[in-house]
Amino acid sequence: MHSLAKRVLEQIERLELMRPGDRVGVAVSGGIDSVALLRLLLELRQELGIVLSVVHFNHKLRGTEAEADQAFVQALAREHGLEFYVSSGDAGELAALEQTGVEAAARELRYGFFYRLLGGTSAAKAAESGGSDRSAGSAALPKGEPRGLKPESEESLLRGAKAPLFHGGDDVNDVPLFHGTAKAASLHEADGAAESRALSNHFEWQHPGLDKIATGHTLDDQAETVLMRLIRGTGLRGLGGIYPRIVVEHENDEGHGEIVRPLLGMRRRELESYLAELKQPWREDATNAEFAFTRNRVRKMLMPVLEREFNPAVVENLSELAEIARDEEDYWEGELSGWLGTVVQWIEPEWARGAGGSAPLVQIQPLGSNPVIEDEDAIANASVSRPWLLTEPKAVQRRVVKAIGEQVGIPLEFKHVEEILRFAAEEGPAGKELSLPLGWKVVREPEQVLFVAPEVRASRLLDYQYSLPVPGRVFVPELGETIEALRITYDSANAEYNAQRLLRADLLQSELTVRNWRPGDRFWPAHTKEPKKIKELLQERHVREAERKLWPVVLSGDEIVWMRGFAVPAKLAAAAGKEAVMIRDVEGEPGI
């Protein structure tokens, strides 16, 4: 056994990243790190007792080079007799749609594919906004996995005698996975994208039963991540960097899968030497040399200077800092769960009492018990003992205030937390108020600090709902706009129509419903990892509160299929050459 493989084995066993019998998909991009990970796990699979397969996602960012990467990875899977799972999505298009960075969009698409392979459709909760990872359960899974068409015959599901079983989808809007024949796999080498598109119309979702997906993050990646967060500004949670595992809950809430990082203790140069010894080629990504990306500048410019001029062990030291931060964060989370159920009390607002028939409200619990909220959009004030808060260390004060904000959905930055604590410590008349984001406020009383929810009962009077025939239109006076549904035949070559806005006609009812969104509503735009509360989607877009309350959605039956300004759900996206429905909003009344 190679010395590097021994160290990887020790890392896996120490962190319990894999167990005998695990079906492990190795995420392979074609680069040094991921190819080395695959070769190391091939060397260790008998020792670990695991079953390997290869996973690849094509981000459609580098044209023919990206297609060549995919062909290289598929050939590598075939060479070692491994199953191959592949999908693709346009990261550039998603970045433009969401007005985010290309790297963030690519990661969103890639990890969405990973979650589906593991049997979940929601991401593990991020430890820091902006994409850090942590060991945490995912949010509840929505009903209705992306659907494909049933295979034409049982003979469609065959394993090739010479090639590994091929699974793929040309785009995340198509079927996430399909099982193909040996012929399909060989054809895919010649014309991968076209073959995937052709086959995606004939297969339905087949869960591969993976237990783990292993990614090739290294010690260098960890150090770069911690350094970038220090530069950007972060807390202890962000200093935890890349977590060794992410937990992904299964769709049926029975068990979970995991994304694991077995190489977090290895340097990239060690992996390069290992592949050179094996005479194993890899693919070079030209974008890794582009200084337009922050990580590339840190990797190529900043880190070499730190190693050369300040500390040769800076990479190892930053990684150790991340491990310390993760352990500290785990401890604090345990403490916080106790505080939120004892010193913090959850109180139904006076204006919400007796509002029968409206949104579910908080269930008040006795002192010392954990808060129980019947609905995550329930309305509740939070009260914390002022004498207790002010006598605790500053670290505890910050944690409690931040945790209250996270619990009720107030986006509190460091400056907000500090202002709240200064306000709580001031002497002055009872009942003094401090304004917070999203209409919340803090009220200072002698014995308590009260976080008061904005009064929303007035907005409930603004609810509207209208029927929308297909095809047809309806005027919404509350918006001063007309919502119309048009039937078209979708031609991908026709730039007149944005594919992100087109729905499959055969999956919609003949009469739709237009209304404003309601508390608890969720929507799953294409190219996103999981359904989100509409409230959160609009907050992320910085939609003003007054406009947010009236934001229109369209339902087919009980399912939200359209939301103004967002891509349609992937499972409902129109296919080229098929009849589609385009929903759009037009200012003013029809004919005016």
pLDDT attached to residue 156: 26
- In this predicted model, which residue has the larger pLDDT, 301 or 186? 301
Least confident span in 59-63, 64-68, 288-292, 575-579: 288-292
Determine the Cα–Cα distance for residues 119 and 105; give it in Å rounded to an integer.
22
H or E element at residue 538? helix 534-540
User: Where residue 450 sits, what CATH number does that domain have?
Assistant: 3.30.465.60
pLDDT attached to residue 336: 83
Q: Identify whether residues 9 and 139 lie together within a single domain.
A: yes
How much is the average pLDDT of 475-496? 78
pLDDT attached to residue 360: 39
Query: Which residues, other chains included, contact 33 with Cβ-Cβ below 8 Å and sequence gap of 6+?
Result: 216, 217, 218, 221, 263, 268, 271
The verdict on residue 484 lying in a domain is yes
Q: Identify whether residues 355 and 274 lie together within a single domain.
A: no
For the ranges 121-135, 290-304, 364-378, the maximum mean pLDDT occurs at 290-304
- Domain tally for the chain? 3
Which one of 412, 432, 458 terminates a domain?
458
Residue type, 282: W
Confidence of residue 545 (pLDDT cuts 50, 70, 90): low
Q: What is the pLDDT of residues 355-373, one digit of tens each?
A: 444 433 333 333 333 343 4
The verdict on residue 540 lying in a domain is yes
Q: Return the bridge partners of 168, or none.
A: 86
Q: Identify whether residues 217 and 257 lie together within a single domain.
A: yes
pLDDT attached to residue 247: 87
For the ranges 175-189, 331-345, 437-451, the maximum mean pLDDT occurs at 437-451
DSSP 8-state symbol, 22 = -
| The three-state (H, E, C) secondary structure of 411-467, written as one string | CCCHHHHHHHHHHHHCCCCCCEEEECHHHCEEEECCCEEEEECCCCHHHHCCCCEEE
The verdict on residue 519 lying in a domain is yes
Confidence of residue 206 (pLDDT cuts 50, 70, 90): low
pLDDT attached to residue 43: 96
Return the exposure string of 167-187: e unless at least 16 CB atoms fall within 10 Å of the residue's CB, then b. bbbbbbbbbbbbbbbbebbbb
Determine the Cα–Cα distance for residues 205 and 146; give it in Å rounded to an integer.
7
Least confident span in 114-118, 373-377, 440-444, 462-466: 373-377
How much is the average pLDDT of 174-185? 32
Q: Identify whether residues 471 and 512 lie together within a single domain.
A: yes
Query: Which residues, other chains included, contact 542 with Cβ-Cβ below 8 Å and sequence gap of 6+?
Result: none
Q: Identify whether residues 582 and 471 lie together within a single domain.
A: yes
pLDDT exceeds cutoff 50 at 150? no
User: Minimal CA–CA distance to 549: which of 518, 587, 513, 586?
Assistant: 518
Q: What is the pLDDT of residues 404-416, one digit of tens each?
A: 888 877 878 888 9
Which one of 431, 458, 485 terminates a domain?
458
- In this predicted model, which residue has the larger pLDDT, 395 or 171? 395
Q: What mean pLDDT is reported for the chain?
A: 77
H or E element at residue 316? helix 314-342
Stated pTM of the model: 0.65
Residue type, 214: A
Q: Identify whether residues 445 and 563 lie together within a single domain.
A: no
The verdict on residue 150 lying in a domain is no
User: Minimal CA–CA distance to 277: which of 553, 2, 567?
Assistant: 2
Determine the Cα–Cα distance for residues 4 and 517; give it in Å rounded to an integer.
54
The verdict on residue 376 lying in a domain is yes
Count how many Cα atoms sit within 13 Å of the Cα of residue 40 in the half-sphere of its side chain.
Answer: 31
Q: What is the pLDDT of residues 418-436, one digit of tens each?
A: 999 999 999 888 889 998 8
For the ranges 45-59, 238-252, 465-479, the maximum mean pLDDT occurs at 45-59
The verdict on residue 326 lying in a domain is no
Q: State how far the alpha carbon of 554 is from the alpha carbons of 219, 484, 493, 509, 534, in Å.
A: 47, 10, 27, 11, 13
The verdict on residue 545 lying in a domain is yes
- In this predicted model, which residue has the larger pLDDT, 262 or 525? 262
For the ranges 43-47, 253-257, 463-467, 496-500, the maximum mean pLDDT occurs at 43-47
Confidence of residue 171 (pLDDT cuts 50, 70, 90): very low
pLDDT attached to residue 494: 52
Q: Return the bridge partners of 53, or none.
A: 25, 83
Asked if residue 429 has a cis previous peptide bond (ω within 30° of 0), the answer is no
Confidence of residue 457 (pLDDT cuts 50, 70, 90): low
Rounded percentage of the chain residues whose pLDDT exceeds 90: 42
Q: Identify whether residues 390 and 502 lie together within a single domain.
A: no
pLDDT attached to residue 207: 58
pLDDT attached to residue 421: 94
How much is the average pLDDT of 122-141? 34
CB-based contact 373:346 (threshold 8 Å): yes
Classify residue 214 by burial, with Cβ atoms within 10 Å: 0-12, 13-18, 19+. buried
DSSP 8-state symbol, 372 = B
pLDDT exceeds cutoff 50 at 210? yes
Q: Identify whether residues 434 and 479 lie together within a single domain.
A: no
The verdict on residue 316 lying in a domain is no
Determine the Cα–Cα distance for residues 395 and 312; give it in Å rounded to an integer.
33
Q: Identify whether residues 448 and 478 lie together within a single domain.
A: no
- In this predicted model, which residue has the larger pLDDT, 464 or 376? 464
For the ranges 32-46, 81-95, 370-384, the maximum mean pLDDT occurs at 32-46
Confidence of residue 570 (pLDDT cuts 50, 70, 90): confident
pLDDT attached to residue 543: 77
Q: Identify whether residues 453 and 475 lie together within a single domain.
A: no
Q: State how far the alpha carbon of 547 is from the alpha carbons of 102, 484, 583, in Å.
A: 29, 20, 20
Determine the Cα–Cα distance for residues 592 and 580; give it in Å rounded to an integer.
27
Confidence of residue 550 (pLDDT cuts 50, 70, 90): confident
| The three-state (H, E, C) secondary structure of 544-574, written as one string | CHHHHCCCEEEEECCEEEEECCCCCCHHHEC
pLDDT attached to residue 551: 92
Q: What is the pLDDT of residues 240-271, one digit of tens each?
A: 999 999 888 765 555 678 999 999 999 999 99
Q: Identify whether residues 526 and 558 lie together within a single domain.
A: yes
Q: What is the pLDDT of residues 318-328, one digit of tens each?
A: 999 999 999 99
Return the exposure string of 410-436: e unless at least 16 CB atoms fall within 10 Å of the residue's CB, then b. bebeeebbebbbebbeeeeeeeeebeb
What is the domain range of residue 221?
Answer: 3-145+205-285+294-308
pLDDT exceeds cutoff 70 at 165? no
SS3 295: helix
User: Minimal CA–CA distance to 27: which of 261, 207, 276, 264?
Assistant: 261
User: Where residue 81 sits, what CATH number does that domain have?
Assistant: 3.40.50.620
pLDDT attached to residue 89: 85
pLDDT attached to residue 411: 77
What string of DSSP letters covers 509-533? -SEEEEEE--TT-EE--TT-SS-EE
Q: Identify whether residues 376 and 474 lie together within a single domain.
A: no
